[in-house]
Amino acid sequence: MKKYEAIFLINFTEKIIIPFEDALIKIDYCYEVPILLDMGLQKLILANVFIYYAMQKFSDVLKRVLKNELLFHESITKDIGYFYNEYSCNEPLHDREKFVEVNANGRSFWVGYEYYLWSSCLRDSSCATWIYNDVDGDIVFEVTPLYVACDPQEQNYVSYEEWIKNYKPFLIKKISKEVVQQWLDQANFIVEQIDNNVARWKQEEIGEME
């Protein structure tokens, strides 16, 4: 068991957990930890990242869903994780242009990235995490499996075409605005504490040089 944890509750049985080896007051911008999804009988690694930047991203997305700014694009007519795998792995995808928009810099991107939060790439349990507003104005938190390409010569190789037949999201939950606000407050607290840590250390270095 980790010595310190940040817990973002989804409900009584499901939660996001960030396990720290060190107290938050000792963490800097480059502190890397896993972000876990605890579903009771199953745990998934949502990401393994620099926690400062992951919490910044989390905060930005949460602010947008609270303002109802992340409504689904009209092209996403099935589960977003299904479409993400199709966009990433299925080259002959029909009507592929419907999945793509062009930004101000002239670069094309898949419209679903608007709702993307984190991802992990593990051989047995790769997943992507999404947050969005549905047509009813509810906030949805979703975790979906990702296909990981591997050498066809591997013993347990499964082609994408076979894998996608059994596609099913790991988790889809509607989250109340009250819970989302709690998540936002927690994410902001972590970001602010790390900013304060770095500022304090810089001041201490200046003091030592004087």
pLDDT at residue 159 in the model: 87
Give the pair of three-digit tokens for residue 168: 């099913």
Amino acid present at 30: C
Range scoring the smallest mean pLDDT among 27-31, 105-109, 186-190: 105-109
Identify the CA nearest to 85 among candidates 25, 158, 190: 158
Average pLDDT, stretch 108-112?
Answer: 77
Residue 67 predicted with pLDDT over 60: yes
Question: Of the ranges 27-41, 121-135, 180-194, which one carries the lowest mean pLDDT score?
Answer: 121-135
Judge contact between 114 and 83, C-beta under 8 A.
no
SS3 63: helix
- The per-residue pLDDT for range 68-104, each reduced to its tens digit, is 999 988 878 889 999 888 888 765 544 555 555 545 5
- Nearest CA to 54 among 186, 169, 202? 186
Residue 8: CA count within 13 A, CB half-sphere: 26
Which position has the token pair 């689904």?
A: 72
Angle between helix 177-209 and 51-66 (nearest 10): 140
pLDDT tens readout for residues 194-208: 999 999 999 887 766
What are the residue boundaries of the structural domains of the chain, listed by start? 4-209
pLDDT band at 141; cut points 50, 70, 90: very high
Mean pLDDT of 23-38: 95
